[in-house]
Amino acid sequence: MDTLRIKNEKAIAIGNMNVNAGGDTLGPGGVIIKDRNRRIRDEKALHTMVPGKATVSKNKEDLTRKTAAQSAAEVETKAAAQVLADAEAARNTEKPKGGLAASLAETSPKKKTAKTKSAE
């Protein structure tokens, strides 16, 4: 069976994966774009459990320092956001008084009412 597989390794496989029987990725005209080994290495690199550039903590003290630094950064970010929100609220001091109806009445044009004579 292996002899048959190796003999037909370069034959184009049936289906829509654009590969040959050996697993090489094919382009237009059956040209090999990426060989099987390279394709497998790329797929394994995407699904690895090992962190890429992140440092791995070796002891509890190192992990505690990193966690404390991240917490401090989050607190500073939240504090900065609160300061910006307070500054925005202080800048917008003009607020309509009297609720929604009063604010709408001030902005809408006043209608003239026609006076009618009552029949006596």
Candidates 28, 8, 5, 25; CA nearest to 17 is 25
Break the chain into its structural domains and give their ranges: 2-46, 54-91
pLDDT, residue 120, reads 46
SS3 of 43-88: the string is: HHHHCCCCCCCCCCCCCHHHHHHHHHHHHHHHHHHHHHHHHHHHHH
pLDDT, residue 77, reads 83
The model's pLDDT over 81-109, given as tens digits with 9 standing for 90+, comes to 888 888 777 776 555 566 666 666 655 55
Neighbours of 24 (CB within 10 A): 22
Neighbours of 23 (CB within 10 A): 15
Confidence of residue 37 (pLDDT cuts 50, 70, 90): very high
pLDDT, residue 38, reads 92
The model's pLDDT over 4-25, given as tens digits with 9 standing for 90+, comes to 888 888 888 888 888 888 889 9
pLDDT, residue 23, reads 86
